[in-house]
Chain A
Amino acid sequence: MHRHHRAAALAATVLTGALLATGCSSSSGGKKSEETANGASAGKATTPRMTVALVTHQAPGDTFWDTVRKGAEAAAAKDNIKLIYSADPNAGNQANLVQNAIDQKVDGIAVTLAKPDAMKSVLAKAEQAGIPVTGLNAGLSQWKSLGLLEYFGQDETVAGEAFGKKLNDIGAKHAVCVVQEQGNVALTQRCDGVKETFSGKTDVLYVNGTDMPSVKSTITAKLSADKSIDEVVTLAAPIALTATQSVSDAGSKAKVATFDLNKDLIKAIQENSIQFAVDQQPYLQGYLAVDALWLYKNNGNYSGGGEQPVLTGPAFVDKSNVDKVAAFAAKGTR
């Protein structure tokens, strides 16, 4: 019996391995070649090889950050840059990663400032070491005081306000803003921005973004607790797609609109199950933050003259322009 059991388990493991292996090899080749064929690679600079570190506060496996990284990789490939990517959602750990990049004597650092205070001392060290630093995605109000060269991102409050105005235009009366990570500054700013300009009522709802069934039932609960809600505002694409299921589960008449994009969300906009998305163009953020370091090194340029940030959003994607975006989103670059 025992031997049978073991043999069966062994066979299962081998079979699984075989299945996985075939799965891997057949696709990764195809996908890889597809990516290089489609990726935004417009030749390659002949400037000397340089090294740039991109350090973000990404949580593992987030579709949004994957897009940022793809943008950065495209710029690196074009500019003859060796890109070192690292990320940690914990601010202290992220600071250590920046220190790590300084120790490696990189030629430039691109960094997100989700928790700016934690980054202060390590950014001072980068300045001492003479390493130029660009900011992206988070830290709009602090990048200048922390001595960064330039900043590429979206003003979350501005994006929220634009979102709120759009809600007024489409005639929503009562919105619920779904926050998937309690205590995240940027997400809170988005909801606050919506509240600021939206003339109807805005509620806030916290959900656990790492547990989709729980997200689904929590939004369902909120919608059935308050039948007057006619708009669900989500702050990430996967949450938006789940919210559409909650709406039908709760038998609610609410519509769903969201911040940020991914390819399934594009499809949902095409199929009318989601009204619109506000895109902060993460690919552009990653691309520009890395490309800027190349420009600075090779031609001394810096965008915004060290005074003004470069805004990458908010860009609205709705029924009217979704088809244009769809082709890029399918590749995971928008």
Chain B
Amino acid sequence: MTQHAEPAVTTPPAPGPKDTDGRTAERSMIVRLLARPDVGVFLGAVAVYVFFLIAAPPVRDASSMANILYQSSTLGIVTVPVALLMIGGEFDLSAGVGVITSALTASMTAYQLSMNVWVGVIAALIVSLAIGFFNGWMVVKTGLPSFLVTLGSFLILQGVNLAVTKLVTGNVATDDISTMDGFDQARKVFASSFDIGGVQVKITVFWWLLFAAIATWVLLRTKYGNWIFAVGGNKESARAVGVPVAFTKISLFMLVGVGAWFVGMHQLFSFNTVQSGEGVGIELIYISGAVIGGCLLTGGSGSAIGPVFGAFMFGMVQQGIVYAGWNPDWFKAFLGVMLLGAVLINLWVQRTATRR
């Protein structure tokens, strides 16, 4: 664990959750939470929620809330790792198309080889991890901005999605796999719903909150979490104190791959087929979810809870406008104004908090 000349050659200790440090649990946790930027986004989310409670009566139904949470969760599951990556000082523009790549891989592997769909699910995970590894490795090796590297992979994946699908299936959408072995089982994991007090809640909502909880714990309580903040804050000084920069960055990109894989599986098992051209533009929603959630575009600061509210805000505004029955021609404009408003509240809270 000493310094090395080359960026990639570092010797990281085992990653993950093992080292809970000695600081006292409860109090420091609360203090840290309050001092964080997520308080602002939390208040912003509450404001948006209250606004729509008043403006759109259907929002008051529990089933509407389940629907809003569903929409938020399909964004939020990727937003969480994207936020971690941004805290680590990098960017991923390929996440949105990566979701579709993953779904296409799973579907085509299972269908073309006539295998149990779980084979496809595993193959898709491997592909998603490989894409993440490639992104991270390129960024670390070349020192190019991740914006450029992932812009490249974003374009590559778009082309590959289309061309490979067409090559393999002869069409631009995959074949229906809903009758294949293991489909029902996989659907239970990725795309089922639960009955809570008469309301159908999609399983993605639970996964989303679970992933966010795990990410929060990792960020605040583990050595790996400290590494993320360190590499995002100042790479050189992080390296100087022995943080394995290359490992941390590459693994963060791979985590985004895992998030994309999960949502890809959700889409596949929820809609049975995948259109190869989907997913373009969604990467920006993930990133805005993280930014609204208080992650700095420059890295080194942010949380995993903030992006949960960020994704919620997105889902809430998007669906709230429909529930409110406003003129749909203005939809995008409303969306923009609401988001900007929410971010301003966030900013105002942060400024007021730091002034005192």
Contact = CB atoms under 8 A, between A and B. Distances in A.
Interface of A: 1-2, 5, 9, 12-13, 15-16, 19-20, 22-24, 26-28, 31-32, 34-35, 59-63, 65-66, 182, 203-206, 208-214, 216-218, 220-222, 224-226, 238, 241-242, 245, 249-251, 262, 264, 267, 332
Contact of A225 (B158, B165, B325): B325
Given A205-B328, A211-B282, A217 B162 contact: no
B58 A225 contact: yes
A150 to B, nearest CB: 28
A242 B271 contact: yes
A12 B129 contact: yes
B129 A213 contact: no
Contacts of A332: 170-171
Contact of A218 (B279, B282, B319): B319
B171 A66 contact: yes
A211 B58 CA distance: 23
26 contacts: A2-B12, A12-B129, A24-B164, A24-B167, A24-B168, A27-B169, A31-B169, A32-B170, A60-B162, A60-B276, A61-B162, A63-B275, A65-B172, A66-B171, A213-B70, A213-B267, A217-B70, A217-B71, A218-B318, A218-B319, A218-B322, A221-B68, A225-B56, A250-B67, A332-B170, A332-B171
A22 B123 CA distance: 12
Nearest to A9: B133
Given A12-B126, A23-B113, 14 more contacts: A16-B123, A61-B162, A62-B277, A66-B171, A209-B278, A210-B279, A211-B278, A221-B58, A222-B322, A224-B63, A225-B325, A238-B271, A241-B271, A245-B271
Interface of B: 9-14, 56, 58, 61, 63-64, 67-68, 70-71, 74, 105, 108-109, 112-113, 123, 126-127, 129-130, 133, 158, 161-162, 164-173, 176, 200, 247, 263, 266-267, 270-273, 275-282, 285, 315, 318-319, 322-325, 328-329, 331-332
A12 B130 contact: yes
A5 B247 contact: yes
Main secondary structure of the interface of A (DSSP, over half): helix
A225 B278 contact: no
Nearest to B165: A61
Contact of A213 (B123, B126, B270, B275): B270
Nearest to B204: A213
A32 B55 CA distance: 55
A238 B263 CA distance: 18
Contacts of B319: 217-218, 221
Given A15-B126, A212-B271, A27 B112 contact: yes
Residue in A65, A214, A241, A332 whose Cβ sees the most chain B Cβ within 10 Å: A214
Contacts of B74: 213-214
Query: Considering the complex of A and B, which 3 residue pairs feature the smallest CB-CB distances, nearest first?
Result: A61-B277, A61-B276, A213-B74
Contacts of B123: 16, 19-20
B67 to A, nearest CB: 5
A1 B250 CA distance: 14
A20 B282 CA distance: 26
Contacts of A242: 271
A210 B224 CA distance: 35
A22 B120 CA distance: 13
A18 to B, nearest CB: 10
Contacts of A61: 161-162, 165, 172-173, 275-278
Contacts of A222: 322
A217 B129 contact: no
A15 B282 CA distance: 29
B11 A221 contact: no
B323 A225 contact: yes
A309 B36 CA distance: 64
Contacts of A1: 11-14
A212 B278 CA distance: 8
Contact of B126 (A16, A23, A250): A16
Given A2-B247, A62-B275, A214 B71 contact: yes
A332 B331 CA distance: 34
Residue in A22, A32, A213, A214 whose Cβ sees the most chain B Cβ within 10 Å: A213
Contacts of A205: 322, 328
Given A24-B168, A206-B331, A238-B275, A16 B162 contact: no
Contacts of B267: 212-213
Residue in A250, A264, A267 whose Cβ sees the most chain B Cβ within 10 Å: A264
Given A211-B279, A224-B61, A63 B130 contact: no
A333 to B, nearest CB: 10
A31 B111 CA distance: 13
A162 B20 CA distance: 68
Contacts of A62: 172, 275, 277
A205 B105 CA distance: 32
Given A19-B123, A23-B108, A213-B266, A224 B58 contact: yes
Contacts of B169: 27, 31
Contacts of B113: 19, 22-23, 26
Contacts of A26: 112-113
A214 B171 contact: no
Nearest to B200: A249
A127 B165 CA distance: 37
A23 B176 contact: no
Residue in A15, A65, A245 whose Cβ sees the most chain B Cβ within 10 Å: A15
Contacts of A216: 70, 270
B332 to A, nearest CB: 7
B119 to A, nearest CB: 8
A214 B318 CA distance: 9
Contacts of A204: 328-329
Nearest to B8: A2
Nearest to A204: B328
B266 A262 contact: no
Nearest to A267: B176
B162 A220 contact: no
